[in-house]
């Protein structure tokens, strides 16, 4: 699977397909209540240096995959898909590598050009770092819809945050063609010890590497 399709399947997909600049949306002016809700999400992301949890990914046609996600700030993240998937996604702080574990090949792209730079940043400020286009309360969850200023695809990212548990519960990505991918999170643990080797990956033959 090529890099663009894999990234569209995760939180971090807003990269390669080119869309007209006018498809992008400007951020709204937040009310005091909305700013407070967004601030709680910022506080959550900024409260930990390491995180580990399970994820279930559901594609636009109902296809599912699951695995384990690990974050070590700044800049390091690992999505390890469970069999039968061959996918492994790892950032070493500079390069984001998507690897086929069976073939030992894959793609690479600068972390700084992906929205993963946001969730692995040492200090996140969604109002500063993204364009927030909606903040709402649904069934006790804070739902924040945003776009990444570096995105050229017309995609949207929707975060579902549970303020009662102070935890990110879900994210959704809607790509420029309206296709929706949902990632549900569970069993999240913060402050865990993670082996630095988890964020190193080698490839026999990188299929794609972009220095942009």
Strands 141-147, 131-138: pairing is antiparallel
Asked if the bond preceding 103 is cis, omega within 30° of 0, the reply is: no
pLDDT at 69 over 90: yes
24: containing domain: 3-194
The structure tokens listed for 61 are: 């046609």
Total domains, the chain? 1
User: Cβ distance 130 to 118 under 8 Å?
Assistant: yes
Residue 172 lies in a domain: yes
Residue 200 lies in a domain: no
- C-alpha to C-alpha distance for 5 and 17, rounded to whole angstroms: 9
Q: Residue 46: give its domain's CATH number.
A: 2.50.20.10
User: Cβ distance 142 to 135 under 8 Å?
Assistant: yes
Q: 112 phi and psi, to 5 degrees?
A: -65, -20
Residue 47 lies in a domain: yes
- C-alpha to C-alpha distance for 116 and 104, rounded to whole angstroms: 23
Residue 127 lies in a domain: yes
C-alpha to C-alpha distances, 173 to 9, 58, 137, 159, 176, nearest whole angstrom: 8, 11, 18, 9, 10
Residue 134 lies in a domain: yes
User: Cβ distance 110 to 154 under 8 Å?
Assistant: no
Q: What is the pTM of this model?
A: 0.82
pLDDT category at 113 given cuts 50, 70, 90 is: confident
Q: 171 phi and psi, to 5 degrees?
A: -135, 155
Residue 148 lies in a domain: yes
Query: pLDDT per residue over 118-144, tens digit each?
Result: 889 999 999 999 999 999 999 999 999
Residue 207 lies in a domain: no
What region does 25 belong to: left with phi over 0, alpha with psi -120 to 50, or beta? beta
The structure tokens listed for 177 are: 């063609």
pLDDT at 34 over 80: yes
Residue 209 lies in a domain: no
């Amino acid at each position: 699977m090529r890099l663009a399709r894999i990234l569209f399947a995760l939180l971090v997909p807003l990269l390669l397909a080119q869309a007209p600049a006018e498809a992008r949306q400007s951020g709204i002016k937040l009310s005091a209540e909305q700013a407070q809700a967004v601030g709680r999400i910022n506080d959550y992301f900024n409260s930990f240096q390491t995180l580990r949890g399970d994820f279930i990914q559901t594609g636009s046609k109902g296809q599912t995959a699951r695995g384990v996600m690990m974050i070590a700030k700044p800049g390091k993240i690992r999505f390890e898909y469970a069999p039968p998937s061959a996918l492994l996604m790892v950032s070493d702080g500079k390069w984001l590598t998507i690897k086929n574990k069976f073939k030992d090949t894959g793609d690479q792209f600068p972390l700084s050009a992906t929205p993963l730079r946001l969730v692995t940043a040492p200090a996140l400020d969604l109002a500063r770092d993204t364009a927030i286009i909606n903040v709402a309360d649904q069934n006790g969850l804070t739902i924040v819809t945003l776009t990444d200023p570096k995105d050229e695809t017309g995609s949207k990212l929707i975060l579902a945050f549970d303020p009662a548990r102070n935890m990110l519960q879900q994210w959704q990505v809607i790509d420029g063609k309206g296709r929706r991918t949902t990632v549900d999170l569970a069993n999240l643990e913060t402050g865990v010890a993670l082996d630095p080797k988890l964020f190193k990956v080698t490839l026999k033959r990188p299929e794609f590497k972009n220095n942009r």
